[in-house]
A and B are shown apart, each in its own frame.
Chain A
């Protein structure tokens, strides 16, 4: 994917966000970011057993952070708790391109970091109940 292709994809997800909105029956939700910087994302996750069933998000902020969060809501469903906890920035590089991740690493990975933390919290709560 060259720069212009990556750019068009990112702008599309920014201007036409997918799965935007609160999820009332989420198993876990978590907010992250920094109001002072302008990037805020809340991820809502619903699991079916150990597998992520659905993700939605709300938020505001820069193009990259919001587009990445939107993309994650399509990529993450179907993955197991373990798979999600093992994801890292390489996945974001594949989604956004290396240039975007290098220029704005914190914006690029914000959504993923929140989703991973939320997944970890869900996993811990699940183990406590068992």
Chain B
């Protein structure tokens, strides 16, 4: 059983709560226009790039801007926000992580994401909802879920677990960047020393639903990643690793797990940062 099963809801639960005024459904996709092609009735769009990123420096929107976002989306502090999206809920988890960073306490992920909803023949609409504005109060950013560069340096020195959730080719350094996307690469390839490679997508089944607690626990434990340790997950820009963060924190109940959103685009360009290349021998459980 998942450690925090209340953080995951199924599509039929969402369908039953479409008219629930205490619930707000939020779509967050990698595909910028997917929401416009059709979305769950009543869902609002939160784009990971245009909505959640700071427009100039590499950071997220400010606390005040987050409050405005929630207010305009009809989200109150006690609203239950259900996130879903494409790519196996990749950016849905990223959005949930960001909401939690600013202190939102009532969040869930719709298991299976957009693909499962559509595969079940459930309704999609192009109608964009309009909700009355709320008065939203954001908290001070939660540093217990976000890791920055210097902490990762200490983490490496102290040999705490690091989970690199990128593809094996990115992990070994075979790939510096994705094909045709040099602007999202780094000057150096490889991984942070001590990291194990557990690609984020291994946590989900083909239909996008999360694997069972037992399967997930075994998958991470077999690589030496266990509860009780301070764990940091990273990828390229922190989006895939937020998916793994959700798995570790809410499905497996890891008490201390952070997302390093600087990730490889920071580390792989950082002067003097230690790097390992090649595969890592599987660690014993």
A-contacting 9-mer, from B73-81, B102-110, B179-187, B212-220: B179-187
A32 proximity list for chain B (CB < 8 A): 179-180
- The A/B interface has a contact count, at CB < 8 Å, of 57
Q: Which of the residues A33, A34, A63, A113 comes within 8 Å of B37, measured between beta carbons?
A: A63
Q: Are B32 and A64 in contact (CB under 8 A)?
A: yes
- Cβ of B30 within 8 Å of any chain A Cβ, yes or no, is yes
Residues of B close to A100: CB separation below 8 A: 32-33
Binding site secondary structure of chain B: loop
> Would you call B47 and A62 a contact (CB within 8 A)?
no
A14 CB-CB contact with B under 8 Å: yes
Q: Specify the main secondary structure of chain A where it touches its partner.
A: helix
**Do A63 and B87 touch (CB < 8 A)?**
no
Q: A11 contacts the other chain (Cβ, under 8 Å)?
A: yes
A61 CA / B181 CA spacing, docked (Å): 15
State how many angstroms separate the Cβ of B23 from the closest Cβ of chain A.
27
Within 8 A of A (CB), among B14-59: 30-34, 36-37, 47, 49-50
Interface residues of A in 11-43 (CB under 8 A from B): 11, 14-15, 32-34, 36-38
Interface flag for B273 (CB, 8 Å): no
A34 and B179 within 8 A (CB)? yes
**Set B37, B49, B179, B183: member contacting A104, Cβ < 8 A:** B49
Decide: A62 and B33 in contact? CB cutoff 8 A: yes
- With A36-B167, A38-B87, A63-B37 already in contact, the answer to whether A106 and B32 are too (CB < 8 A) is no
User: Across the interface, do B30 and A37 meet the contact criterion of CB distance under 8 Å?
Assistant: yes
Tell whether, in the assembled complex, residue B31 and residue A62 are in contact, meaning their CB atoms are under 8 Å apart: yes
Q: Which residues of A contact B87 (CB under 8 A)?
A: 38
Residue of B nearest to A32 (CB): B180
Question: 5 closest A-B pairs (Cβ-Cβ)?
Answer: A62-B31, A34-B178, A63-B33, A32-B180, A104-B32
Q: Give me the interface of A with B, judged by CB distance under 8 Å.
A: 7, 10-11, 14-15, 32-34, 36-38, 61-64, 100, 103-107, 110, 113-114
Beyond the given pairs A38-B87, A63-B33, A106-B181, 20 more chain A to chain B contacts, judged by CB atoms under 8 angstroms and listed by A's residue number, are: A7-B33, A7-B36, A15-B37, A32-B180, A33-B179, A37-B30, A38-B30, A62-B30, A62-B31, A62-B32, A62-B33, A63-B32, A63-B34, A63-B36, A100-B32, A100-B33, A103-B49, A104-B32, A104-B49, A107-B32
